[in-house]
Amino acid sequence: MTDFGFPDAEARRVVETALDEDLRDGVDVTTTATIPVSQTSLSHVIARADGVVAGLPVIELVLAAVASRMGAARPEVEVHVEDGARVKRGDHLATVRGSTQVTLVSERTILNILCRTSGVATHTRRWADQLAGTSCLVLDTRKTTPGMRALEKYAVRCGGGTNKRMGLYDVAMIKDNHKLAAGGLTAAYDAVRARFPEVPIQVEVTTTAEALESVGAGARFLLCDNMSPELLRATVEAVRATGEAVEIEATGGLTLEVAAEYAATGCDYMSVGGLTHSSPILDIALDLDA
């Protein structure tokens, strides 16, 4: 079993926010009117498409939160696959036994989160598979759904991707606007290093000359933005020739169709904002036994 580091506290916060949106005054008017409090049922969480599943612990978190709000017994959950597993259409992901009211009130919140995170994992797995056999890894970005970052980055890990920085606090990333405002690339680098000496610094570059200036300033992680494969290859070769241990990332406009070509340049990473901002959901359903 692989431990991808499920973000429990962040997931609980997302669940509570989602339930606040759904349960104004704490009532699901349809379920309350149609389902007796005493009714119990067996239901199944089922994949309706092939993909990679991520976020299964959310099922139990949502059911527990709803049961607490309703003052009802929490349904039991049996999970049949692990996060990160490839699943096929029709696969049973989990079984839920218990209060029908709690199950139905929980259904949409469970699926909203689980379909989203599994969609991110599925998309990421396509990239990881495309890069298999190379030395290049796929990275995510900060282009995440507000409030969902921890869960979406967890899903990236489940899909075989690697997280970049989690926020604006853990890594400094010097981009074009910072260079302009600070008076130049080297000035920006020196300012960050002086103010936050322990924080890793990454520098975005668009030319080989900028890359070499960054290395000269002390940068050991470069983001090569919107470079052609030819320019990226030349930049990688020039940076490697300095003898410094520099990590190099390709970023900007990357697609699965060109992934292998970019990996062949010798870059260490490709960052893909689309892993989180453009992944379609993985279709998953919750069905009660007839």
User: What amino acid positions are annotated as catalytic residues?
Assistant: 108, 143, 175, 204, 225
Residue among 242, 259, 184, 254 nearest 208 (CA): 242
The answer to whether the CB of 15 falls within 8 A of the CB of 62 is yes
HSE, CB side, 13 Å, CA atoms: give it for residue 244.
19
Which residues 6+ apart lie within 8 Å of 134 measured at CB?
A: 260, 263, 264
Q: Longest Cα pair distance anywhere in the chain, in angstroms?
A: 73
The answer to whether the CB of 205 falls within 8 A of the CB of 178 is no
The answer to whether the CB of 158 falls within 8 A of the CB of 88 is no
How many other C-beta atoms are found inside a 10 Å radius of the C-beta of residue 8? 11
